[in-house]
Chain A
Amino acid sequence: MVGVSGEILLEDTQQGDRLVLAGRGAWIAVNANGLETAIESLIRKYPSARNVAIDMAQVERLDTFGAWLLERLVRAFAQSGREAKVTGLKDDYRALMDELRNVKLEEVPARSGGQALRYALRSIGENVASVGGSFLAIVNMLGALVIALLRVFASPRKIRITSVVHQLDNVAWRAVPIILLITFLIGCIIAQQGLFHFRKFGADVYVVDMVGILVLRELGVLIVCIMVAGRSGSAYTAELGSMKMREEIDALQTMGFDPVEVLILPRILALIIGVPILTFLGSMAALYGGGLVCWLYGGIDPDIFLSRLKEAIALNTFQVGMIKAPFMALVIGAVACVEGLAVKGSAESLGRQTTASVVESIFLVIVLDGIFAIFFASIGM
């Protein structure tokens, strides 16, 4: 049998019931594949040889790969009750062979087995259970937040103003440009689409009603929350997750601090303050964008736009959007922190929880929006 560079690695000669194998060349990693095939076929070729001698004198180099294959050859013969004698091995390699002789090949324990169907069923079950689990975790987090908040109210010196301001800078101040840009564009697009379709039946001016109500009641707050969930929620999860991985949260706990009070409360307070501000700014930018398009594309003068807007919306249209904002901020913050604390040791788990955090919080924000819609409709707002 030949190696990579074409040299012969193993020769066999049979003398009666005596089998002589002579190794040659380099028994090293690059030749391991060829050598393995050679050994397999040899074992099959001589099922009856009583007496086996393996001469390794001609082997120039031997590494763990080659040594293991030699050991496997010896073991294969030993298994069928024949003894294989290895001779001529260089002194340098003897220690390696001794080491490998002690290797016990136990059955490697399988991690998760079973058939595909069982696996599929199990994963469905696990997923359902994990949905329940994460709902419980969020409720748990809300409870812990209330306790932390009460404790902070009891001794107001405990509130971490610096931390809140720092987080506010991250989640609100730095988010202003991108939020303004996106909501401005959304306002433009709604107005343009409205004009395009309303014009067909001469209802151009009702575009102002649509833009005003849609932006102030729903879109302003939703777009801002989706942006914040993607931008700040994921950052919270990643920050807390890597702190968890490096035992920083354990360190806080052992020093007698409550991680919820030190890390999570300031973050969530910052969101609860920041998201309404962003919602307000975003709504204004969207109205501005809508007005601009109405003027330039629809020929509705700014004066007419403003007076029409005044008629179309009341204070409660604005209130509906603003009331929703802090609740959505709370949901985004709680989900992000729960997922952050659920991170386990591996980098993969950090990625998984960050994804889960963003997906879950956007989903919950939309569900919450629906619940609010029902609520406001029933109280007539």
Chain B
Amino acid sequence: MAIAPHMNGKKEFANGQREVVIEARDIVVGFGNHIVLNHTDLDVYRGEILGFVGGSGSGKSVLMRTIIGLIHKRAGSIKVFGVDMDKACDLERRAVERRWGVLFQQGALFSSLTVMENLQFPVREYLKLSQRLLDDLAVAKLEMVGLDASVCSKFPSELSGGMTKRVALARALALDPEIVFLDEPTSGLDPIGAGDFDTLIATLQRTLGLTVYMVTHDLDSLHTVCDRIAVLAEGKVIAAGPMETMLKSEHPWLKSYFRGKRSRAGYQPQGKAMTPGVTV
């Protein structure tokens, strides 16, 4: 299996070296007798949008949750911003945790707080800011994710699916993180909503200089916004690289995933090159 070089070179450093912000090595995670991740390696580079794909139940979310420390691993090491998360003391780990934001699949908004309070919660805990600045920033974040001040006083149970995702993204961005983890951000959205969300992620990535780690099944997201795609199968990352590499691959799973009936290549037999929707 050829692990392709970074072909599109969009965000490559001048010397071809790219800064690795997440370095996962030799990760083993299992539940009972079932091994989900079997010596998995993964690198995430600064400033890229990484799409992470794999079959249902292959452990995509497990790897993400392992990196952010919600699942314990049996072996391996994870370095985030060069900090080894196992060896770091509480203070160091918390400092790293402040530099990432997580969008959970169901939003995970606090149901007893209003949208405004949800957005201000992490900021209030970590920083001492005036109420006016907190309010202004919450509204600013909401507008950045395409909502407006009218949803501020709503409770999460009063929001639609798409609005929940947007508010959850705004909360993930509340502390201006450097990395955002997105767990199936477009699942449950209509194609227009999903497309808007993709554009939103690309825009935010550009304006805030984010590194995005996106677990997804959405082929359109992979085509339009992802700089690089990593594929998880049989407990290992079997391929990582830009879309072109995935389309060229002869691995049977990759072939059926990226060139199957539901893929773009499937209904565009010429296989003409996809122009990424967003260029930087």
- Distance in Å from the Cβ of A117 to the closest Cβ of chain B? 22
The answer for the CA separation of A74 and B157 in the assembled complex, in Å, is 37
Q: Which residue of A lies closest to B130 (CB)?
A: A36
- The answer to whether B137 and A347 touch across the interface, beta carbons within 8 angstroms, is no
Picked from A30, A33, A64, A346, the residue with its CB within 8 Å of the CB of B130 is A33
Picked from B133, B140, B156, the residue with its CB within 8 Å of the CB of A346 is B156
Chain A residues with Cβ below 8 Å from B112 are 346-348
Picked from A30, A95, A108, the residue with its CB within 8 Å of the CB of B152 is A108
- The answer to whether B153 and A64 touch across the interface, beta carbons within 8 angstroms, is no
- The answer to whether B207 and A96 touch across the interface, beta carbons within 8 angstroms, is yes
A345 lies within 8 A of chain B by Cβ:
yes
B114 lies within 8 A of chain A by Cβ:
yes
Chain A residues with Cβ below 8 Å from B157 are 344-346
Q: Which residue of B lies closest to A64 (CB)?
A: B176
Chain B residues with Cβ below 8 Å from A33 are 127-130
B148 lies within 8 A of chain A by Cβ:
yes
> Given A65-B137, A72-B136, A96-B207, do A111 and B127 touch, yes or no (CB 8 Å)?
no
A-side interface residues, number (CB < 8 Å): 33
The answer for the CA separation of A103 and B207 in the assembled complex, in Å, is 14
A105 lies within 8 A of chain B by Cβ:
yes
Picked from B114, B129, B141, B149, the residue with its CB within 8 Å of the CB of A111 is B114
- The majority secondary structure among interface residues of chain A is helix
Chain B residues with Cβ below 8 Å from A69 are 133
B139 lies within 8 A of chain A by Cβ:
yes
Chain B residues with Cβ below 8 Å from A36 are 129-130, 133
Picked from B133, B139, B207, the residue with its CB within 8 Å of the CB of A108 is B139
B254 lies within 8 A of chain A by Cβ:
no
Picked from B114, B152, B176, B207, the residue with its CB within 8 Å of the CB of A99 is B207
- Distance in Å from the Cβ of B58 to the closest Cβ of chain A? 25
The answer for the CA separation of A96 and B155 in the assembled complex, in Å, is 28
A104 lies within 8 A of chain B by Cβ:
yes
A377 lies within 8 A of chain B by Cβ:
no
Chain B residues with Cβ below 8 Å from A110 are 153
- The answer to whether B136 and A108 touch across the interface, beta carbons within 8 angstroms, is no
- The answer to whether A103 and B143 touch across the interface, beta carbons within 8 angstroms, is yes
Picked from B111, B143, B208, the residue with its CB within 8 Å of the CB of A345 is B111
- Distance in Å from the Cβ of A59 to the closest Cβ of chain B? 15
Chain A residues with Cβ below 8 Å from B175 are 29
Which of A's residues lie within 8 Å of B, judged by CB? 28-30, 32-33, 36, 63-65, 68-69, 72, 92, 95-96, 98-100, 102-111, 344-348
29 A-B residue pairs with CB within 8 Å:
A28-B176, A29-B176, A30-B127, A32-B133, A33-B130, A63-B176, A64-B173, A64-B208, A68-B133, A68-B136, A68-B137, A96-B207, A99-B203, A100-B140, A100-B144, A103-B140, A104-B148, A105-B149, A106-B148, A106-B149, A106-B150, A108-B139, A109-B150, A109-B152, A346-B111, A346-B156, A347-B111, A347-B112, A348-B112
List the 6 closest A-B pairs by CB distance, nearest first.
Answer: A345-B157, A346-B111, A348-B112, A95-B207, A63-B176, A111-B153
